[in-house]
Structure formats: structure tokens, C-alpha cells
Amino acid sequence: MREARSLLIDVSELLRSPGSSRRLELEEEVAGLAVPMAHVAGAPVLDLLAERVVEGILISGTVSGALELECIRCLTEVEDVFSVPVSELFATGEIAPGDEVYPVEGDHIDLEPMVRDAVVLGLPLNPLCRPDCKGLCPQCGQDLNEADCGHRPERIDVRWEPLRRLKETMGE
Ligand SMILES: [Zn+2]
Ligand SMILES: [Zn+2]
């Protein structure tokens, strides 16, 4: 077993050497990389440069990995990949409320909140297995992408789909 918090990076050497930089290549599981219909599968890959700047440590690069999505119309699982750019300051000084920076904590920076912020914001809230997914028949549950069951339901407005499903789970 590896240490649970290995996104906690010792930056003491960087802090001692103005102008220095260090490459960080990491692959670590991060909890909470999920929204209702999408989550990161496995450990995201971090390819980052840590640079000592006047205000602290600047982290830039990309976070990438695999996604598992659930189509909001037919509930089919879909696999995808993601890659998000990051460029964030970890400040050594006082952080004022509203400053969009992360703290340097002693000799360490914790990349986990940064990864979570960057990745979760980019997760799709309404994933589709394909742009023209026909969804499930509301009467018999048939996947209408695979076969036409012959039912002719009224058109469902997808904007109301989450509400409809909520009503279903509450037993109408
Ligand atoms: Zn679908
Ligand atoms: Zn049907």
C-alpha cells in the first residue's frame, strides 16, 4: 500500500531556491471526482511543473484521466477521457478572503484540492452516449436506440427528465 496522501508534496527545496523549478509526474487516486452522471475512473495522471515564484509556488500543467459517464437518456455507461489544464498559485503569505490561491502549508503543498476543483468543474452534467440518443421508452423501458417497441409516447422534454425520474423514485 502506498501512502494515502501522496499528493502532499514537499516543496522545502523549492522554497529555499528562488527561480528553481521541479517536474511533478504523479498518478494518484483522488476521492470525490464525481458528479451525479459522471465520475473519474481510476487515478488521474498529473503532469505538472512546480516553479518557485515570488509569491510562493506556481503549479502548471495538465490533469488527465479516464471518465465513466452515464447517458442521461438511456442510462448506458460510456467511457471517455479528459485532460484539463491547470495553472494555480500556492501562496506562502497571508491569503485574503476571495484570493483564488491555495496555501503553502509549512514545507508542503497539497495538490488534492486543486485537482478536485479543476476536474469536477469540467465533468459533464448531462452526458449523452451520442448526440442523437433516443433514450428509453417511458412505457416499457426498451432502449429505443436498439429497437423500436412500437409505443408512441408523447415527446419527452429532456429538461424535465430529472424531475420525472425523481417522481418515479418517490413512487409518484
Ligand atoms: Zn444514450
Ligand atoms: Zn415501449
Mean predicted confidence (pLDDT) in 79-90: 96
Question: Is the distance from CB of 26 to CB of 61 less than 8 angstroms?
Answer: no
pLDDT score at 157: 66
Asked whether residue 86 is domain-assigned, the answer is yes
Q: Is 73 exposed, middle or buried (0-12, 13-18, 19+ CB in 10 A)?
A: buried
Within this chain, do residues 138 and 164 fall inside the same structural domain, yes or no?
Answer: yes
Within this chain, do residues 87 and 149 fall inside the same structural domain, yes or no?
Answer: no
pLDDT score at 156: 60
Mean predicted confidence (pLDDT) in 37-49: 97
Within this chain, do residues 91 and 28 fall inside the same structural domain, yes or no?
Answer: yes
CA of 144 to the centre of ligand 1 (A): 9
CA of 108 to the centre of ligand 1 (A): 44
CA of 74 to the centre of ligand 2 (A): 13
Within this chain, do residues 112 and 138 fall inside the same structural domain, yes or no?
Answer: no
Domain count, the chain: 2
Question: Which residues form the domain of 154?
Answer: 134-172
CA of 36 to the centre of ligand 2 (A): 26
CA of 72 to the centre of ligand 1 (A): 7
Within this chain, do residues 32 and 116 fall inside the same structural domain, yes or no?
Answer: yes
- CA of 71, nearest ligand number: 1
The one-letter amino acid code at 167 reads: K
Please check the confidence at residue 3 and state whether its pLDDT lies above 80.
no
